[in-house]
Structure 1
């Protein structure tokens, strides 16, 4: 199970990095429009809150204990929240920068290109949603494996022993 622990840590580090990128890009936009109505900026405030919660929980659950796998329902809920944030940002962009997953016209330049920033924000929100979903699926796998492993099967002649008990 060391592989699952290592994979979980890598997922949590990815979730932390992606949430920090989304928080930074969305926060930059919210800072630029700080005088406007909060009703108009609700989708970005929501995205910022989801990014903040993701940063908090990924740091807390980054500690490698086996109990970190039992948080799979929260991982799933956060994944759904990220998918909602992704959808809200894609809906707001409404095709003004072209197809959302078209990265052909993107180049690193010294000028400001808002389409590049929005597509980056949307891409990392999508990646974060996928990482949280994979983390939830890993938690389901871990919990299922450990609950079936603890079950003792008794059919009269055959009993399943734990691995650490001797036959003597």
Structure 2
């Protein structure tokens, strides 16, 4: 007699892992966006008399961080179906990559290499603050991208299982 695997326990394990991955990714997205909003907001507060056109990239980054905070908070709620929002995950990931690019182009090597993190500090170090903002913008973009990829995989797996159930239940049992 061949060994049969219980498919319902396998499905339950996948759902638990998916739920756990969703919570971890959403929490990381929330933390990274909050850090970017805090550091960037602190900078914008100190240059409040400057032209808004010259601070456009920082204002854009602050708006993206605010949107990311909002959606990650909403989607941390357990009943909000963690991965069905994958198109918006990809869109927010793209906005984070744009913010990352705008911040990198602003530095233009003035504080050393972009991925040289040796001088990151949160106090009295403008280059360190900018690099921290760049780093957490990049990390946030990656988390949103991973959420989108996992969302596509989750939706495709769910559709495949639904199709199999429908195909099996429609067969005649003669």
Same fold (TM over 0.5): yes
> Does structure 1 residue 121 correspond to structure 2 residue 133?
yes
Question: Under a length normalisation based on structure 2, what TM-score does the superposition of the two structures give?
Answer: 0.84
Q: Does the C-alpha gap of structure 1 residues 151 and 28 become closer, same or farther in structure 2, counting only changes over 3 Å?
A: same
CA drift of 1:115 comes to 1.0
Question: Under a length normalisation based on structure 1, what TM-score does the superposition of the two structures give?
Answer: 0.87
Provide the residue aligned with 1:164 in structure 2: none
Q: Does the C-alpha gap of structure 1 residues 55 and 108 become closer, same or farther in structure 2, counting only changes over 3 Å?
A: closer
CA drift of 1:63 comes to 1.2
Q: What stretches of structure 2 of length at least 5 have no aligned partner?
A: 1-14
CA drift of 1:108 comes to 5.6
> Does structure 1 residue 2 correspond to structure 2 residue 49?
no
Q: What count of residue pairs does the alignment treat as equivalent?
A: 157
The question of whether the paired residues in 1 share the 8 Å contact of 2:30 and 2:73 is answered with: yes
Aligned partner of 1:75 among 70, 84, 89: 89
Aligned partner of 2:107 among 93, 97, 101: 93
Provide the residue aligned with 1:135 in structure 2: 147
Aligned partner of 2:65 among 35, 47, 51: 51
Whole-Å separation in 1 of the counterparts to 2:136 and 2:165:
46
Whole-Å separation in 2 of the counterparts to 1:66 and 1:19:
20
CA drift of 1:76 comes to 0.4
Provide the residue aligned with 2:37 in structure 1: 23
Q: Does the C-alpha gap of structure 1 residues 108 and 53 become closer, same or farther in structure 2, counting only changes over 3 Å?
A: closer
CA drift of 1:103 comes to 2.0
Structure number with higher relative contact order (C-alpha < 8 Å, ≥ 6 residues apart): 1
Whole-Å separation in 2 of the counterparts to 1:132 and 1:103:
22
Instruction: Could you list the structure 1 runs, at least 4 aligned residues long, displaced by more than 6 angstroms after superposition.
Output: none
